[in-house]
């Protein structure tokens, strides 16, 4: 192993000078490429979960309940890679330069986007996708409007109905 002699080390240190900064008395260098915590714009987010799938550290998670879809960002696990912002189809994620995130309350490190699911237009009871997701689908594929407001089971029934009507057959829903 190449051992450096102490005197040589001192000589290098003397020539290099002080390279550390007196943080927090002096502000650190924040470059244009610096990545801090992310912020999700709830008005743009469609609740697709693409950011959750790509997140390598599980800082982003998704939770489904009967009437809600919740995207949670736990800053404590974030490694500031920026992958979530890259994949978001609606550019709802901004990478900020915020890095001073220490807190005494762990709840401060959780940020939630809550989407309320829309009631199916056909059965009037089952809840399915968030409103923003439905609007996004219709914007992308206008012909899908009839199906976009329906829950999955009703979509299937409507499809079968259409097929049978097309063949002159009567559709009777199973009890």
Binding map of ligand SF4 across residues 76-95, x = CB under 6 A, - = no contact: --xxxxxxx---x-x-xx--
Does residue number 120 form part of the binding site for ligand SF4 (CB under 6 A)? no
Question: In this complex, which beta carbon is closest to ligand SF4, that of residue 69 or of residue 149?
Answer: 69
Does residue number 154 form part of the binding site for ligand SF4 (CB under 6 A)? no
Among 11-19, 57-65, 142-150, 165-173, the segment contacting ligand SF4 (CB under 6 A): 57-65
For strand 60-64 and strand 68-74, is the pairing parallel, antiparallel, or unpaired? antiparallel
Question: In this complex, which beta carbon is closest to ligand SF4, that of residue 56 or of residue 162?
Answer: 56
Spell out the residues 6+ positions from residue 135 whose beta carbon is closer than 8 angstroms to its own: 46
Q: How far is CA 130 from CA 11, 43, 47, 100, 154, in A?
A: 65, 12, 7, 33, 16
Smallest distance, Å, CB 57 to ligand SF4?
Answer: 5
Number of other residues whose CB lies within 10 A of the CB of residue 40: 21
Question: In this complex, which beta carbon is closest to ligand SF4, that of residue 46 or of residue 150?
Answer: 46
Contact 97, 34 (CB under 8 A): yes
Sign of CA dihedral 16, 18, 23, 25: negative
Number of other residues whose CB lies within 10 A of the CB of residue 62: 16
- Which of 36, 39, 50, 126 touches ligand SF4 by CB under 6 A? 50
Sign of CA dihedral 51, 57, 58, 59: negative
- Which of 1, 2, 12, 48 touches ligand SF4 by CB under 6 A? 48
Residues that bind ligand SF4 (CB under 6 A): 38, 40, 45-51, 54-57, 59-60, 71, 78-84, 88, 90, 92-93
């Amino acid at each position: 192993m190449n051992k450096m002699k102490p005197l040589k080390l001192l000589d290098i240190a003397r020539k290099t000078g002080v390279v550390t900064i007196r943080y927090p008395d002096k502000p650190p260098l924040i470059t244009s490429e610096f990545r801090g915590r992310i912020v999700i714009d709830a008005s743009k987010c469609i609740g697709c979960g693409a950011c959750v799938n790509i997140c390598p550290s599980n800082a982003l998670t998704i939770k489904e309940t009967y009437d809600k879809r919740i995207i949670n960002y736990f800053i404590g696990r974030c490694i500031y890679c920026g992958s979530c912002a890259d994949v978001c189809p609606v550019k709802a994620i901004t990478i900020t330069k915020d890095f001073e995130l220490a807190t005494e309350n762990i709840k401060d490190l959780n940020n939630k986007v809550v989407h309320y699911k829309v009631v199916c237009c056909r059965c009037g009871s089952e809840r399915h996708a968030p409103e923003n997701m439905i609007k996004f689908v219709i914007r992308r594929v206008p012909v899908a409007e009839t199906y976009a407001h329906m829950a999955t089971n009703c979509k299937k029934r409507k499809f079968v109905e259409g097929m049978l009507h097309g063949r002159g057959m009567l559709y009777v829903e199973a009890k």
